[in-house]
Amino acid sequence: MRKSILRYTFSYFILLSLSSCKEPCLDVPFIQDKTEELQSWYTDTELTIKNAESSIGISDNVILTHNYHNYGDSIWDDCGNVTQAERSAVRYDFYNFPFTIETDFYKQGEEKGFSLKVNYNTYNASYNFTTLQTSSNNSITYISDYTLNDIVYPDAFKVTFNETQSDTEIKELVLVKGLGIIYILLNEGISINMD
């Protein structure tokens, strides 16, 4: 009798430990909503050149290089759900300004895997679309109804580089949904409008 009780108790604990190893199901509707939100921020692929005009009269043609990568089925759960990872990146190459900027939108698959990362020369700032948090010393802030040159943009991110030191480095830039970067402010106060 005692052996059968021990056997049942042992079997119970094995089943309990196996069932506790099962990972929770992905929140598929949430992931679909966040995917649509993230993709709405992707810079229009038809934008390949932007005109940049500074407040001191220096102008530039900025070349935009788009790079989209769908990583395929990358996250699946024990419930049979599968979600894919993807990355949409745009590189901004300036000729007359000492900048190289890249914006990266990442979907890693799980509920917290939606982010924006802005790389500027050796600096970067990142933002998580799920937690609405910045995860670096530099910051990204969401702005609704951003106004520039009497034009109101309904959705924008302001990126602030708190680590830059030189007067000719970027203090902040503004990224608009679908249009990419439209404004840059240098530490010395010079502004650059991009259209």
Three-state DSSP at 169 gives coil
In this predicted structure, the answer to whether residue 159 has a pLDDT above a threshold of 90 is yes
The pLDDT tens digits for 70-100 are 877 677 777 877 788 889 999 999 998 888 9
pLDDT for the residue 80: 77
Residue 81, token pair as written in the block = 């759900």
Q: Delimit the domains of the chain by residue range.
A: 23-194
In this predicted structure, the answer to whether residue 42 has a pLDDT above a threshold of 70 is yes
pLDDT for the residue 5: 55
Give dist(CA 48, CA 57) in Å, integer: 22
pLDDT for the residue 23: 63
Confidence of residue 43 (pLDDT cuts 50, 70, 90): very high
pLDDT for the residue 4: 55
Residue type, 195: D
Confidence of residue 14 (pLDDT cuts 50, 70, 90): very low
96-120 average pLDDT score: 87
pLDDT for the residue 68: 92
Confidence of residue 157 (pLDDT cuts 50, 70, 90): very high
Q: Which residue has the tokens 């990972």?
A: 23
Strand order in the sheet with 82-93: 133-134, 123-128, 114-120, 100-107, 82-93, 59-76, 49-54, 191-194, 180-186, 170-176, 151-160, 139-148
